[in-house]
Structure 1
Amino acid sequence: MLQNWTGRVQAAGATTEAARTEWTAAKAPKRHVKALLESMAHGAVRCMYCDDSRGTDIDHFQPLAVAPLRAFVWDNHLLACSFCNSNAKRDAYPVDADGVCLLVDPTVEDPAEHLFLMLHSGLYSHRTAKGEHTIRVFGLNRADLVAGRKDAFCLACSNLRDWHGLQQDDDDGLEADRVAQALLDSPFVDIVHAMARLDPGLAATVVGKRTVAALELWRSVYGS
């Protein structure tokens, strides 16, 4: 179905205007694409960029203004909230001198290779040029996200300690599993993954001594 709609864009001249016109008209393809993306989004269908708000829009990672013939290419579609899609990213698609994209593509790259989350401040820092541009374009350090991550870090430490206690006291493990799943489905799950990736030698300093044992057990069960 997507290939057929790509053919329509091609037949209409393969311009940005043609891509936007066909995308607006493509109700059935958009319905199917959105349903598939929602099934891939974690938790309560979170935005695949900020991981805070509900994903409501289909974003073209490579914008129609840059690549009209990728309007209906499956791996060019990501689920985004309206702010990330329409206010933050929009048609931004920075490239280097060789034309290589300078945004982290989460469909093929591990963001942790380019981004570093500072847990206490809730701020993202960059490891690479891609990370730097990604933070800027997606607005990953906007005030509401930073505040949300700081709260999420506090709650994650508390929830990890609760989960650790339940692992020891819960005979069938069902309650512990439920707490773990709630933590993995929560907004800002990047906090949990960043905690799991902490250098063991720094963990006590970052998460506090009371949380270290819980974090070590979490790593052994869920990895990093």
Structure 2
Amino acid sequence: MMKLQRGAAPDFLKENYKQWGKDYEQMRLANPSTRFNWRSYAGVPVDKQLKSSLNAITKNHCSYCDGFPLGTTSLETIDHFRPKSKYPCLAYVWHNLFLCCTVCQQAKRDTFDKKLLKPDVQAYQFHTYFTVNYSNGEIAANPAASSTDQDRANFTINVFGLNKPGRPESRFREYCLFQLAGKSVHIDDFSYRFFMI
């Protein structure tokens, strides 16, 4: 999970997020089984408009596993960090929206706990919480971190399924390709950038 620098929300979202969140919250109160559908703004679904802004933040990588490129190896989805089913008023809050792959989205589902690491928090740094095993591609909690930070790292690894079968192997293969490529390529052209630095 790379650290993300989140810019300001798009203007149309700043102007409408509170009302749209309240509207969705009211719909959920009236009927808890109401399915979420993105609102439209200027005739275009909001998620379609947000993807370009979120893409600029992640450089077309998943916000959580750093898989790349989204839309090719996985669908490009928008995750609600605090799930919209539990926090409907946050459904359109800019700092609650993350571009992610379908694998991370399906692993996380509606899970939320304050322990879950958020990649756009100012103090977040990958190596504070995690270590990488360059021989097999696995991610683990940093043994030098506090017990609280290790707990948060392990919780995050489990929620996003970061060490589920196939994922460590994929990171290891990408690391080998990066090593073979040398300085002729840019790190943003690879998945799992946190594994390369």
Q: Same fold (TM over 0.5)?
A: yes
Matched letter for residue 91 of structure 1: D
Measured in 1, the distance between the counterparts of 2:31 and 2:173 equals 41
Tell me if the contact between 1:50 and 1:145 (Cα under 8 Å) persists in the aligned partners. Answer: no
The reply on whether 1:76 has 2:96 as its aligned counterpart is yes
Residue 122 of structure 1 deviates from its aligned partner by 0.5
Aligned position for 1:103: 116
Assess, with a 3 A threshold, how the Cα gap between structure 1 residues 107 and 17 changes in structure 2: closer, same or farther: farther
TM-score, structure 2 length as denominator?
0.74
Larger radius of gyration: 1
Report how far residue 59 of structure 1 moved: 0.3
Aligned to 1:17, the other structure's residue is in SS state: coil
User: What is the aligned partner in structure 1 of residue 196 from structure 2?
Assistant: 192
Over 3 Å off, 4+ runs: 10-18
> 1:145-170: CA deviations, max 9, x gaps?
1111111222222223xx2xxxxxxx
CA contact (8 A) 1:9 1:15 kept: no
Secondary structure of 2:196's partner? helix
Within a 5 Å distance, the mapping from 1:80-159 to structure 2 comes to: 80-86=100-106, 88-94=107-113, 101-108=114-121, 109-127=124-142, 128-159=150-181
The one of 29, 32, 38 aligned to 2:55: 38
1:65-91 residue CA offsets vs partner (Å, 9 max, x unmatched):
3322111111000011112112x1001
Whether 1:67 and 2:87 are equivalent positions in the alignment is yes
1:148–1:188: 8 Å Cα contact kept in structure 2? Answer: no
Q: Which runs of 5+ in 1 are unaligned?
A: 95-100, 164-178, 194-224
Alignment of 1:143-222 (within 5 A): 143-160=165-182, 163=183, 179-181=184-186, 183-193=187-197
Amino acid at match of 2:76: T
Unmatched tracts of structure 2, length 5 or more: 1-15, 143-149
Give distance in 2, aligned partners of 1:120 and 1:90: 30
Q: Could you give the per-residue CA deviations for residues 104-155 of structure 1, whole angstroms, max 9, x where no partner exists?
A: 1001022322111111220011131110100101000122211111112222
| 3-state SS of 1:84 partner | helix
Question: Aligned residue pairs: how many?
Answer: 164
1:79 match: secondary structure: strand
Q: Distance in 2 between matches of 1:10 and 1:156?
A: 46
Q: State whether residues 178 and 190 of structure 2, in contact with CA within 8 Å, keep that contact through their aligned partners in structure 1.
A: no
Q: Which has the higher contact order (CA 8 A, sep 6+)?
A: 2
- For 1:102, the aligned partner's letter is K
- Distance in 1 of aligned mates of 2:141 and 2:116: 12
| C-alpha RMSD over aligned residues | 2.2
Check the 8 A contact 1:116/1:125 in 2, yes or no: yes
TM-score normalised to the size of structure 1? 0.65
- Taking structure 1 as reference, are residues 90 and 13 closer, same or farther at Cα in structure 2, changes over 3 Å only? closer
Query: Match of 2:37?
Result: 24
Partners of 1:184 and 1:192 within 8 A in 2? no
In structure 2, C-alpha distance between the alignment counterparts of 1:35 and 1:123, rounded to whole Å:
31
Identity %: 24
